Structure 1
Amino acid sequence: MLALSRKKGEGIIIGDDIEIVIIDVTKEGVKLGINAPKNISIHRKEIYLQIQDENKKAMESSGETAELLKNMFTKKE
């Protein structure tokens, strides 16, 4: 992990096309601005983890659903 000190108005560059700028610093926290290409998704970490969890649950349930559908449409002899 790289740890940097930055002041309001300063920023960092990631790769060639992602810029993170310090917009404001208060007692409650730091406000960041992120400039990145539209094809790069940007989420708060807690939201990203929720998305990952929901995707995992969907994959698990889709396997169960596929098995139920298979059993419904399988010819019975």
Structure 2
Amino acid sequence: MLVLTRKPGERVLIGDDIVVTFLESRGDSIRIGIDAPSGVRIQRHEIVEAVTEANRAATEADTSAEDRIKAALGYIPTAD
């Protein structure tokens, strides 16, 4: 991991076509701007984690609902 100290207005280049600009510092957080080609996905890590967890929970809920429906219908699994 590269660790940098930057001042507002200073930039970091990533590859040939991504520019990260440090805009300002506010208390314990900083604001940055990211210029990248439209084909480059830029995502906040905590959002990706939240969506992944929500999808996992939804899948588990769907399985639980399926089991309840099978039980209500008297489904008996057969051995193959």
TM-score band w.r.t. shorter chain: 0.5 to 0.7
Q: Give the superposed CA RMSD.
A: 2.7
Q: Tell me which residue corresponds to 1:44.
A: 44
The answer on 1:12 being equivalent to 2:22 is no
Counting only pairs closer than 5 Å after superposition, residues 1-77 of structure 1 correspond to structure 2 as 1-54=1-54
Shift of 1:57: 6.5
Gaps of at least 5 residues in structure 1 are: 65-77
Q: C-alpha separation between the residues in 2 aligned to 1:56 and 1:14?
A: 33
Corresponding letter in the other structure for 2:15: G
How high is the sequence identity, in percent, across the aligned residues?
A: 36
Q: CA deviation at 1:8?
A: 0.3
SS at match of 1:2: coil
Deviation string 1:39-73 (CA, Å, 9 cap, x unpaired) is 11111110122334456678x67xx7xxxxxxxxx
Gaps of 5+ in 2: 64-80
TM-score when normalising by structure 1: 0.65
- Bigger radius of gyration among the two: 2
Aligned residues: 68
Q: Which runs of 4+ in 1 moved over 3 A?
A: 51-58
- Cross-structure match for 2:68: none
**Secondary structure, counterpart of 1:39 in structure 2:** coil
Is the alpha carbon distance of 1:40 and 1:54 closer, same or farther for their aligned partners in structure 2, counting shifts above 3 Å?
A: farther
